[in-house]
């Protein structure tokens, strides 16, 4: 059974027959609930960064004995069962579209995709590409320090004498004394786990060094992790994995490190035991493709467009003159009097494609900003769309919709990238014309 995003009429009975275990633990469970599973990785790592993605949204929702999917794609496994939810733009099982969005949004090089891998293996390979971003997010909090106990055997006693080790190592007495110290240090199990992940990625011949060298900040971060973990030993990997698995980081302040810890464990566990490393638990990787689409569109817009951040409460527009309540359109430019909204929906049909909420939202944004133009930007398999929705009665703002064509006949990922670049140039030309720059 082939699943893609935004399907509406999957037969529930057939799905349960084909995926008996997965259906028990997945059907009608919310994304927020699933993200609490230690062995399910959700990107972006904080659901609050996804304003278009409701934490109560269900990956697979039952409606009148049928199953529908949403804007989440990825891979899930349970026992011997494997379920892949692809984007609706995937080509014969190759989700070039997902890879391309990640490449553009995260500024990573994905030109060396291993075509011999299975679909789920390709998705897990993406975990390594996500590693530098999650490492950067964690290091913004500074290096993680933790109390650790260290054993010493020398003449400079500055801790608690370890009688057992002293008798074992220092008879006859040679001047040394065995003792232990408790130190607040960077060289702890969590930082060691990060170091082991770095060393594992380095050894991936086809992609490893490219992942860690993709950005200057990535290289600097890796160098700093290596510097603060001098006790690293390859032979300790299994012990470090077990220790981090049994003692996950819980403190809310270190949430970024907690997500990085989850990512490292998934990368290293896959290396050790393959995709079925937790046969008794559901595991997998999920992507919020609507968030990726919004961030991707932002990379194509002129630099003077503002991209409000809902969670950070930045660049919102006031609904009332008191400024007590704000809303957050995806993109806008006050000087050019234009507001834009990115939608990962099928909007080719003008009459049926735009629902009531999206239309009213766009009208509201245009009215508050006194915009002359407002538009929806969506992906499409068809030729690029540049059409009018209509002119708002009374106020007079012109509502439009624009599509970015997603190729469906690419023979390889590199060919797909070239076709996407052509689609992007067409879209940029349309936007430049709309804002009067041509």
Give the pLDDT score at 20.
Answer: 92
Q: Average pLDDT in the 57-79 region?
A: 86
Contact 331, 298 (CB under 8 A): yes
Would you place residue 52 in the very low, low, confident or very high pLDDT band (cuts 50, 70, 90)? very low
What are 316-336's pLDDT values in tens digits? Answer: 788 887 767 888 889 999 999
Calculate the average pLDDT of the chain.
84
What is d(CA 193, CA 261) in angstroms, rounded to the nearest whole number? 8
Neighbours of 61 (CB within 10 A): 15
Q: What is the pLDDT of residues 176-217, one digit of tens each?
A: 988 888 888 899 999 999 999 999 988 887 666 677 776 667
pLDDT tens digits for 343-363?
998 887 655 568 888 889 999
User: Residue range 116-136: average pLDDT?
Assistant: 79
Tens digit of each residue's pLDDT (9 = 90 or more) over 228-251 = 999 999 999 999 999 998 998 988
pLDDT tens per residue, range 379-424:
999 877 888 888 888 778 899 999 999 999 888 888 999 999 999 9
Please identify which residue in the block is written with the tokens 């690419």.
410
Residue among 436, 433, 358 at smallest CA distance from 399: 358
Residue 185 CA: distances (Å) to CA of 149, 150, 229, 236, 329 = 10, 10, 10, 18, 44
């Amino acid at each position: 059974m082939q699943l893609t995003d935004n399907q509406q009429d999957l037969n529930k009975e057939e799905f349960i027959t084909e995926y008996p275990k997965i259906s028990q633990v997945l059907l009608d469970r919310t994304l927020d609930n699933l993200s609490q599973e230690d062995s399910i990785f959700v990107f972006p790592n904080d659901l609050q960064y996804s304003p278009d993605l409701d934490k109560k949204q269900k990956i697979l929702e039952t409606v009148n004995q049928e199953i529908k999917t949403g804007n989440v794609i990825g891979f899930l496994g349970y026992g011997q069962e494997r379920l892949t939810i692809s984007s609706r733009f995937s080509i014969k099982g190759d989700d070039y579209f997902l890879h391309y969005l990640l490449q553009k949004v995260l500024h990573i090089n994905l030109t060396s995709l291993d075509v011999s891998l299975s679909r789920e293996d390709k998705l897990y390979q993406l975990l390594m590409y996500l590693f530098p971003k999650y490492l950067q997010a964690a290091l913004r909090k500074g290096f993680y320090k933790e109390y650790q106990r260290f054993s010493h055997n020398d003449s400079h006693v500055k801790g608690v004498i370890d009688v057992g080790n002293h008798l074992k190592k220092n008879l006859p007495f040679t001047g040394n004394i065995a003792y232990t110290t408790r130190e607040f240090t960077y060289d702890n199990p969590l930082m060691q786990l990060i170091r082991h992940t770095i060393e594992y990625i380095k050894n991936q011949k086809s992609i490893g060094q490219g992942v860690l060298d993709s950005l200057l900040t990535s290289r600097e971060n890796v160098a700093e992790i290596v510097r603060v973990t001098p006790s690293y030993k390859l032979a300790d990997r299994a012990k470090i994995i077990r220790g981090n698995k049994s003692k996950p980081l819980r403190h809310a302040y270190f949430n970024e490190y907690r997500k990085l810890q989850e990512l490292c464990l998934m990368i290293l566990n896959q290396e050790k035991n393959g995709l079925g490393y937790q046969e008794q638990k559901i595991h997998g990787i999920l992507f919020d493709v609507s968030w990726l689409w919004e961030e991707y569109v932002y990379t194509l817009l002129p630099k003077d467009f503002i991209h409000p951040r809902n969670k950070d409460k930045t660049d919102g527009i006031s609904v009332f003159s008191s400024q007590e309540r704000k809303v957050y359109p995806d993109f806008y430019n006050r000087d050019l009097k234009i507001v834009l909204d990115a939608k990962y929906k099928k909007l080719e049909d003008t009459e049926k494609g735009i629902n009531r909420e999206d239309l009213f939202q766009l009208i509201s944004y245009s009215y508050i900003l006194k915009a002359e133009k407002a538009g929806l930007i969506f992906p499409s398999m068809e030729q690029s769309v540049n059409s009018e929705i209509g002119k708002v009665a009374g106020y007079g703002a012109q509502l439009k919709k624009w599509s970015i064509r997603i190729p469906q006949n690419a023979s390889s990922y590199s060919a797909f990238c070239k076709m996407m670049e052509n689609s992007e140039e067409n879209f940029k030309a349309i936007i430049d014309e709309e804002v009067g720059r041509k």
